[in-house]
Amino acid sequence: MREICGYTVEEYIHLIESFHGYLAPGLLIGGFMIDEATRELPEGEIFDAICETRVCLPDAVQILTPCTVGNGWLKIFDFGRFAVTVFQKNTGDGLRVFVDAQKLAQWGEIDGWFLKKTARKEQNTELLIEQIKQADTTILSRQKVRIKEEHLKKQKTGAVGICPICGESYPTRDGEMCRSCAGGCPYVMLADKE
Ligand SMILES: [Zn+2]
């Protein structure tokens, strides 16, 4: 039976639903991608991952591998490309797997959804999921890559100071005040702190 990183497809679908909230088609494709990208790694190999989109794919990496945004082993370069690279931490050698737009033609529902040709309300989600299962890795392409030196080093936080405006700690490399007080704050204060 087809397995995705040791889970049956149905088990993986359950994991998607509990982690992501619902069965997103991109996460199902992501499972096949990550299985493909990791299957030739030696057992016990420590690896990092890069996603080239922040949509769906990072959750597939976090469900199926030890790499998370929080532990820093998963990085996101938001190029809007549905691609994942898995690479060895020490050498930077890795495998990049992506949905190949050239290979979608025979899968009408996937093609319409992936390239946004089909309006949301005309999408047949059941058929889409079925086609993704059938297509398996045939809609993917892969290429060997080597991660650039500057992206292999662990990003250090550096010195920490107290922001003169909010009084909270922040990395001093950001300047005289924290980035929130410098104008990046996404909310307004409704009350004083308590
Ligand atoms: Zn501040």
Q: How far is the centre of ligand 1, averaged over its atoms, from the C-alpha of 55 (Å)?
A: 30
Q: How far is the centre of ligand 1, averaged over its atoms, from the C-alpha of 174 (Å)?
A: 11
Dump pLDDT digits (tens) for 73-97. 999 999 999 999 999 988 999 999 9
Backbone φ/ψ region at 129: left (φ over 0), alpha (ψ -120 to 50), beta: alpha
Q: How far apart are CA 97 and CA 87, in angstroms?
A: 11
Q: Taking residues 33-55, what's their average pLDDT?
A: 92
pLDDT band (50, 70, 90) for residue 67: very high
pLDDT exceeds cutoff 80 at 156: no
Per-residue pLDDT at 29: 98
Per-residue pLDDT at 139: 98
Distance of CA 194 to the CA centre of its chain: 37
CATH of region 158-194, choose from 3.40.50.1580, 1.10.10.10, 2.60.120.280, 3.30.60.80: 3.30.60.80
CA atoms within 13 A on the CB side of 186: 0
pLDDT exceeds cutoff 90 at 51: yes
Q: How far apart are CA 192 and CA 182, in angstroms?
A: 19
Instruction: Phi first, then psi: give them for residue 98, nearest 5 degrees.
Output: -145, 155
Per-residue pLDDT at 41: 84
Architecture of domain 3-151: 2-Layer Sandwich (3.30)
3-state class of 175 per DSSP? coil
Q: How far is the centre of ligand 1, averaged over its atoms, from the C-alpha of 156 (Å)?
A: 20
Q: How far is the centre of ligand 1, averaged over its atoms, from the C-alpha of 177 (Å)?
A: 6
Per-residue pLDDT at 154: 75
Per-residue pLDDT at 157: 77
Q: How far is the centre of ligand 1, averaged over its atoms, from the C-alpha of 165 (Å)?
A: 5
Sorted by sequence, the CB contacts under 8 Å of residue 124 that are 6+ apart come out as 109
